[in-house]
């Protein structure tokens, strides 16, 4: 379910090949590691629109803010479409038997707590929807993240994606999403942030 999430979010994070588990001060942290929202300075918005091959599109938008430099919250939204012109054929033929579409959405509200000047912990809830031909699906899951700020310019990050995520389809089938563990280190110049 939701393979478009493997395409990722955020221009800087994609430029780093997805090595963003220890990244901070970016609304995309709601996707990469919610604990990274603890580096936010004020309200931030990020948006991305990607044209993919074969008439597919992926849109991403994230909002994030902090409260009293202790609590941080955000909302990440993904919209994926393979188009409404997918052709179905039961055999070799020039004309399709039918035409259908594939539309998927994911909403990820995030919440982060700064435990101390060095430690932060965060999580998000994933709410997913899919409409594919005559099937529809609904999924729910979560991500949990932890960051440790070694120095002002160095951060360590750990994240568990989908520890208990599940996706149900209208035809009664169920898909368990396997958990993924990620760790990373980030070094940056604070004066550039």
Structure confidence by residue, pLDDT tens digits, 131-188:
887 788 899 999 999 999 998 889 999 999 999 888 888 877 777 788 999 998 888 7
Question: What helix, strand, coil percent values describe the chain, rounded to 5?
Answer: 10, 55, 30
CA distances from 163 to 6, 25, 57, 145, 178 (A): 16, 25, 28, 11, 7
What integer pLDDT is reported at residue 191 of this predicted model? 62
In which band, very low, low, confident or very high, does the pLDDT at 64 lie, cut at 50, 70 and 90?
very high
Phi–psi pair at 140, nearest 5 degrees? -140, 140
CA–CA separation, 1 and 130 (whole Å): 9
* CB contact at 8 A, 35 and 24: no
Residues 174/177/178/181 CA torsion (nearest 10 deg): -160
* CB contact at 8 A, 160 and 180: yes
Express as a percent the part of the chain with pLDDT over 70. Answer: 95
CA distances from 181 to 5, 95, 153, 175 (A): 15, 45, 24, 19
The pTM of the full predicted model, rounded to 2 decimals, is: 0.84
């Amino acid at each position: 379910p939701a393979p478009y999430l493997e395409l990722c979010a955020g221009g800087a994070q994609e430029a780093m090949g997805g090595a963003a588990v220890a990244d901070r001060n970016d609304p995309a942290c709601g996707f990469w590691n919610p604990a990274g929202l603890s580096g936010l300075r004020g309200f931030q918005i990020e948006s991305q629109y990607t044209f993919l091959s074969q008439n597919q599109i992926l849109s991403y938008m994230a909002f994030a803010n902090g409260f009293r430099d202790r609590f941080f919250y955000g909302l990440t939204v993904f919209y994926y479409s393979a188009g409404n012109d997918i052709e179905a054929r039961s055999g070799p033929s020039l004309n399709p038997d039918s035409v259908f579409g594939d539309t998927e959405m994911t909403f990820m509200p995030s919440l982060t707590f700064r435990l101390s000047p060095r430690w932060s912990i965060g999580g998000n809830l994933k709410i997913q929807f899919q409409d594919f031909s005559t099937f529809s699906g609904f999924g729910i899951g979560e991500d949990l993240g932890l960051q440790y700020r070694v120095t002002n310019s160095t951060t360590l990050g750990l994240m568990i994606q989908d520890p208990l995520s599940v996706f149900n389809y209208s035809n009664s089938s169920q898909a368990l999403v396997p958990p993924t563990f990620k760790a990373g280190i980030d070094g940056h110049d604070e004066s550039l942030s």
